[in-house]
Amino acid sequence: MKSLLPLVSIVIGTLAYGIWNKARSGRIKLRPNSTLVHVIREKWSVSLGETATMVQFSSVFCATCRATRTLLEDIAQSTSGVVHLDIDAENYLDLVRELDIRSTPTTLFLNHFGVEAGRAVGVPKRDQVLKVLNTL
């Protein structure tokens, strides 16, 4: 039998990571002065929302993407001027790299110019989404 220390370290480290990940998941990070804003309307021949557009990047093996889509679709339907788009990240890898999207779901919140105001990794909370949409 080996020493228990490596095992205990792994367990504690994993629990710490799990707690940290749960805490930051779904938080909407705003980038008001970010140099990473992308004017997305030039690239896409689809109309953006008058107020805001929520662009969700999803992938196949992503359990939480479904919950995110349900939530954001519901918000888009009940809020005027807000559009929700759900795209398969695998089909848009150039965009994924350019926008530095690393995991799914990642949802970009765009203003009516198609400029990114912020993004959320993981399932966002409804009240936070509404708060962000109100500022756009």
Partner 1 sequence: MRDVKIIDARGPRFGAFITAPVLAAIFITGSVPLLLWQTIVFLIGATLGPSKSPYAYIYRKLIRPRLKGEGPTEDSRPPQFAQAVGALFSIVALVGVSLGVDLIVSVAIGFALAASLLQGIFSYCLGCELYLLLVRATSRSRKRSSVDTPYFLPSL
Question: Which residues of the chain form contacts with partner 1 (CB under 8 A)?
Answer: 1-2, 4, 6-7, 10-11, 13-15, 17-19, 21-22, 42-46, 57-66, 69, 85-90, 92-98, 101-105, 122
Bridging pattern class, strands 28-30 and 52-58: unpaired
- The separation between CA 82 and the C-alpha centre of its own chain, rounded to angstroms, equals 16
Least spacing, CB of residue 27 vs partner 1, in Å: 15
CB of 53 to partner 1, least distance (A): 10
Give the Cα separation of 19 and 129 in Å (integer). Answer: 22
Q: Least Å distance between CB 73 and partner 1?
A: 9
Contact status, residue 107 vs residue 120, Cβ threshold 8 Å: yes
Q: Are 73 and 84 in contact (CB under 8 A)?
A: yes
Cβ atoms of residues 99 and 38 within 8 Å: yes
Closest to partner 1 by CB, 71 or 89: 89
Which lies closer to partner 1 via its Cβ, residue 65 or residue 82? 65
- Give the nearer residue to partner 1 in terms of CB position, either 21 or 134: 21
Nearest approach, Cβ of residue 70 and partner 1 (Å):
12
Query: What gap in Å lies between CA 48 and CA 35, rounded to an integer?
Result: 21
Contact between 32 and 109 (Cβ < 8 Å): no
Nearer to partner 1, 10 or 134 (CB): 10
